[in-house]
Structure 1
Amino acid sequence: MSASTAAPPADETTGRRSWLSGPAGRNVGLVVALALICVAGVITGGERFADIDNVVTILRAAAVTGVVAIGMTFVIISGGIDLSVGSVLGLTGVWATTVATQTMAEDIHWLVMVFTALAVGLAAGLVNGVIIAYGRVVPFIATLAMLASARGLAEMISDRQTQRVDVAGFTDFFDLDPLGVPMLIWIFALVAVAGWFLLNRTTFGRRTVAVGGNAEAARLAGIKVKRHTLYIYGLAGLAAGIGGVMMLGRTTAGTSTNGVLLELDVIAAVVVGGTLLAGGRGTIVGTVFGVLIFNTLTNIFVLNNMSTSAQSVAKGVIIVAAVLLQQRFANRSRST
């Protein structure tokens, strides 16, 4: 057999490269990476890592970050960034645990606390969206201002004190474990499914990708870019509100320190999951795997008594490696 007949067709080679650089190929790479990390966990942690209770611990720890990361995925796909999600999460928790809110929740229903947190998160996100879309302030500066303002407002409302959750119905709900799975994990799963559907099966998702790919082309195609940008940041704020409710369910306390530096973990997970920082590309599935990868690594570090400083260095290396891989895949796809 000649070399010419043994070589694969050019179309087949191009198709393989296209698949590897596409969403499916990137997600397979994330699955492999997570599997290798789990193998390392079993080798270094033994039965402690493989124990089902430890797996549940990893998923519970990933739940809050994962929900906020779903909202961040839409923001970054659209070509923006939101540095305020951690502060907004803290603000929603504090606002939902004020004496007035909890008294109303006891008189009416514990869902009052949930609606309060969601409303505060949505409002903060919409403020970001208005400043960015209509005030024409770059997302980095606008959300940095919200980061400081939301954290300061949370400290003023709580007087820097921890506010306990005293509404029994609220805590009872988060103590549930349907089918043996904690409620936090169920909420994370539901939000992930909803985020996937919104991004991949709705006009909103297609417009988000279009705005991130080329905002001017999207405008000429009839998309109201400013209004859509407003909606995207509102969605990110709503996700932070859901995360705030989940944090209350996990800790049974609202404090202005909840969510400190959460935005860094969220952005890192989204980037590792394959979402381009430049916008125009990203997947919810990739974000979920990015969150799981980071939380699994953190769990392994803790089991092996690694210092927090070493953990930070390792995470920094992973983030840089993920961005470099993104650039390589982007260059390869442009060349093909």
Structure 2
Amino acid sequence: MIQQRSKIAKFQSLIALLLMCVVLSLLSDKFLTFANGWNVLRQISVNVCISVGMTLVILTAGIDLSVGSILAFSGAIAAGLLKFGIALPTYDLYIGFTLLGALLAGTLVGAALGTFNGFVITKFKVPPFVATLAMLTIARGFTMLWTKGYPISSLGKEFSFIGTGWFLGIPVLVWIAAIVVLLATILTNRTAFGKYIYAIGGNESAAKLSGININSVKIWVYALAGILAAVGGIMVTSRLNSAQPNAGLSYELDSIAAVVIGGTSLAGGRGTIIGTVLGAMIIGVLNNGLVLMDVSPFWQQVVKGVVILLAVIIDKANHKEE
């Protein structure tokens, strides 16, 4: 009986997604269309990238509340450098940036902020919740300083192609998310580093005794979370063709929700990247369905909160039975 429940638990996210699709297709004739399907996939692409990074963090029994702010700052950096470059009037110097240069700069900013999170958590033993909460405020403040509170817009067709273009009949955003998922799946399932992540989340003391460099792995994990948040920031900025100072608000909540709904344990050591993708799809389909049914945005927040709570309760129940 317990084994049967365990098998069902492995597929509960997929079952929930399929049931949700069936119900929404019955409630709205606009839901089950190709156009709406691509729309949902584009909408969840950013959350998928962020949630993959969040999964790696939570697998180590950590948390990262700063991904939304890192997303905003990284996107603003890329947009600002692409449009304005760096001017140093004192030295009569101007440094311009190509598209690739601006994208790399934005990604490096995300990597640096994520690495700083990991450094503070490991070297000063600051709880991940507190350290990343502080970074949430710091990165948001940097975003406001960089943009001066105004959007950075009109970034060019090449940049906007990332967020609005299609390649081989599939949106570029979906391609980016798919590549991130593929690489993260290989990382967690086929590499020693992936095994270290699970080992630390499962039992950190045992992992340390087995010779794993706990601090190094954690720093790398938070750095990867920062990089993926930066990728998400570039995706959002490109889709809007504008870097908004308030971009990424509450994105950390959506990513945590996707991870939890996808079956990753908040206690660490248990979960999969594919599960997180399914969790992100559930959230995306739920949001899309509620919009199609003209449900108030306020009620949408209530429904999303209830779904997250149910996911945690189910996870706890499954964990007790194992």
Establish whether TM, by shorter chain, passes 0.5: yes
- Alignment gaps of 5+ in structure 1: 1-12
Q: Which moved more, 1:160-169 or 1:114-123?
A: 160-169
CA deviation digits over 1:134-176, x for unaligned, max 9? 1110000000000001001100110100001424322244443
Match of 1:250 in 2: 239
Q: CA contact under 8 A between 2:162 and 2:235: conserved in structure 1?
A: no
Q: What CA distance in whole angstroms lies between the structure 2 residues aligned with 1:101 and 1:136?
A: 38
Q: Does 1:166 align with 2:155?
A: yes
Q: Of residues 175, 181, 187 in structure 2, which corresponds to 1:192?
A: 181
Match of 2:32 in 1: 50
Q: CA contact under 8 A between 2:61 and 2:268: conserved in structure 1?
A: yes
Q: What CA distance in whole angstroms lies between the structure 2 residues aligned with 1:107 and 1:135?
A: 38
Amino acid aligned to 2:60: S
1:69-88, aligned counterparts within 5 Å?
Answer: 69-88=51-70
CA-atom RMSD in angstroms:
1.6
Q: Does 1:318 align with 2:310?
A: no
Q: Percent identity?
A: 38
Q: Does 1:19 align with 2:11?
A: no
Q: Of residues 309, 320, 328 in structure 1, which corresponds to 2:317?
A: 328
Match of 2:202 in 1: 213
Count of residue pairs brought into register by the alignment: 314
1:291-310, aligned counterparts within 5 Å?
Answer: 291-310=280-299
Give the TM-score normalised by structure 2: 0.94
Q: For residue 108 of structure 1, report the CA deviation from its aligned partner.
A: 5.5
1:23-34, aligned counterparts within 5 Å?
Answer: 25-26=9-10, 28-34=11-17
**SS in structure 1 at match of 2:168:** helix
Q: CA contact under 8 A between 2:163 and 2:236: conserved in structure 1?
A: no
Match of 2:92 in 1: none
Amino acid aligned to 1:119: L
Amino acid aligned to 1:210: A
Amino acid aligned to 2:31: F
CA deviation digits over 1:192-242, x for unaligned, max 9? 111111111111111000001111110000000011110110010001011
Give the TM-score normalised by structure 1: 0.90
Q: CA contact under 8 A between 1:97 and 1:165: conserved in structure 2?
A: no
Point out the structure with max Rg over C-alpha: 1
Q: For residue 97 of structure 1, report the CA deviation from its aligned partner.
A: 1.5
Q: What CA distance in whole angstroms lies between the structure 2 residues aligned with 1:18 and 1:298?
A: 29
Q: What CA distance in whole angstroms lies between the structure 1 residues aligned with 2:305 and 2:270?
A: 22
Amino acid aligned to 1:92: S
